[in-house]
Amino acid sequence: MTAWNIRPIASALWRNRTGAMLVALQIAIALAVLVNAVYVVKQRVDKINRPHGMDVENIFVVATAGFTKNFDYEASWRADLAYLRDLPGVTAASLVSNIPLSGSGSSNGFTAQPRTPEQSGEPANNFEVDEQAIEALGVKLAAGRGFEAHEILPPTDAWEFAPQVIITRDLAKAVYPPDGDALGRTIYDGLNRPSTIIGVIETMHGSWVGWDKVSQVMLVPRIRSGPGAVYLVRTEPGRQAALMRTVEEHLSTSNSDRLLRWVRPLERFARQSYLDDRNMAIFLVSITSALIAITALGIFGLATFNVSTRVRQIGTRRAVGARRLDIVRHFLVENWMVTTAGVVAGCGMALAIGYWISLKYELPRLDLYYLVGGVSGIWLIGLLAAWQPARRASEISPAVASRTI
């Protein structure tokens, strides 16, 4: 007889196998779900938390729309910008053609050399901005300079290039591999019109957070086309809410030929764009936690049942010399065997589901560390769930054995 009594425990378990098998099956499903849920949640959290390069917390967006025949777009945006930039607490304000992180934008393909018809160019999310853009976005220039007021071009309805542009470092790396040394070089648009790169932004995210090239962004010095204007306004920290109210009050009455559509924090657009990812993470975490909790209760229930049906046997064992420790060990080992059976089956299920998910989401295959972590976690949970019933079993008095016989 070994110290751990593996054989007799196993045979006792086998005599009552249905309940044990049900619990093992629960454990298998729980492990498979746990491992994959953690993996998917990690991907989502990483995506939501990656650096976007902008001062999102201190930026708000103002959208207006001119709608009458008398509406003078240029006079209107000049007046609005002058007003916004003059407000105490406003760091900078820029007209923008599209709102970063909002899901709505425009993109074009660019090349380092004039292209042949077969070449498609490296896609970049382009934004028309004015001379305060770098400040208003709160992005950091890695090299070069921002736009100057005299470089800002008048609006056009269609895509046109500009003599100077600013691009992000990720776009630079894609267009000028391998080092991405772009400052002062020429970049070509789809119609092979050239432009000089005067600045390189360290990091900036464009419109579509689900796009794998979201960090390939180009700023073009041009006033966005009317009659709708969108302003990006950056404030000193802590002053956003009050300034938004002031701006809303002023702009909603300052010009009756246009409508103030809304004033919203940029953070709202970011939240909207990541809403599905965030909600998926919340769903997965809550459903998985509930699943683990139910499984733990199942383990607890089985152990409790096993103890309560064997009161007499335990009493007898105690009476013939088993220590409390032996009783605790008996139940923990029994439970560990059930958990392990579940874990072995669960590993197979986890890998199968992981494979399916990696195909569906075009993700790398499930990392085995997750599996190791999941297995250890389930073992620990199993032991904890069986601990209390095992302790109770050990407290059964040896006298029970003599009482009913």
Partner 1 sequence: MLGYYFQLAFRNLRRNPGLTALMIGAVALGIAVCVMTLTLYRAMSGNPIWWKNDVLYAVTLDAWDPNEPADDRRPELPPWQLSYRDAMAVMESGMPKRKLIMHKAIGVLSLDDRSVKPERALTRMTTGDIFAMFDVPFQYGGGWSESADQGPEPVMVISRAMNEKFFGGVNSVGRRIRWDDREFRIVGVRDRWQPLPTFYDLNNGSLEEGEDVYLPFGWTPQFEIWSAGNTNGWKQEEVNTFQDFLASELVWLQMWVELPDAGTRQRFQAFIDSYAMEQKKAGRFQRPLNNRLTQVDQWLIDNRVVGNDDRVLVGLAFAFLAVCLLNTVGLLLAKFLNNAAITGVRRALGASRRQVFMQHLVEVGVISGIGSILGLAFGGIMLVGLRALYTLDPTDTGGTQAIAHVDVTSVVTALALALFATIAAGLYPAWRIGRIPPAIYLKAQ
Q: For CA atoms 77, 81, 87, 89, give the dihedral sign.
A: positive
Q: Which residues contact 71 (CB under 8 A, 6 or more apart)?
A: 227, 257, 258
Nearest approach, Cβ of residue 110 and partner 1 (Å): 12
Structure tokens at 74: 């240029």
Nearest approach, Cβ of residue 262 and partner 1 (Å): 9
Nearest approach, Cβ of residue 357 and partner 1 (Å): 7
Q: For CA atoms 243, 249, 252, 256, give the dihedral sign.
A: negative
Cβ-based nearer residue to partner 1, 119 or 145: 119
Cβ-based nearer residue to partner 1, 191 or 399: 191
Give yes or no for a contact between 109 and 161, defined as CB atoms under 8 angstroms apart.
no
Nearest approach, Cβ of residue 108 and partner 1 (Å): 9
Nearest approach, Cβ of residue 332 and partner 1 (Å): 19
Structure tokens at 353: 């589901």
Cβ-based nearer residue to partner 1, 10 or 290: 290
User: How far is the C-alpha of 187 from the C-alpha of 123, rounded, in Å?
Assistant: 12
Nearest approach, Cβ of residue 259 and partner 1 (Å): 5
Cβ-based nearer residue to partner 1, 6 or 282: 282
Cβ-based nearer residue to partner 1, 61 or 166: 61
Strand partners, 200: 143, 167
E strand or H helix at 235: strand 228-235
Strand partners, 132: none
The residues of the shown chain that bind partner 1, judged by CB under 8 A, are 18-19, 22-23, 25-26, 29-30, 32-33, 37, 40, 65, 67-69, 71, 103-104, 117-118, 120, 156-160, 190-191, 227-228, 256, 259, 261, 268, 271-272, 275-276, 279-280, 282-284, 287, 290-291, 294-295, 297-298, 301-302, 304-305, 308-309, 357, 360-361
User: How far is the C-alpha of 378 from the C-alpha of 295, rounded, in Å?
Assistant: 10
Cβ-based nearer residue to partner 1, 69 or 150: 69
User: How far is the C-alpha of 277 from the C-alpha of 217, rounded, in Å?
Assistant: 23
User: How far is the C-alpha of 280 from the C-alpha of 209, rounded, in Å?
Assistant: 15
Nearest approach, Cβ of residue 85 and partner 1 (Å): 25
Cβ-based nearer residue to partner 1, 211 or 326: 211
Give yes or no for a contact between 223 and 130, defined as CB atoms under 8 angstroms apart.
yes
Nearest approach, Cβ of residue 160 and partner 1 (Å): 8
Long-range contacts of 10-15 (CB under 8 A, 24+ apart): 10/337, 12/334, 13/334, 13/337, 13/338
Give yes or no for a contact between 16 and 61, defined as CB atoms under 8 angstroms apart.
no
Cβ-based nearer residue to partner 1, 45 or 65: 65
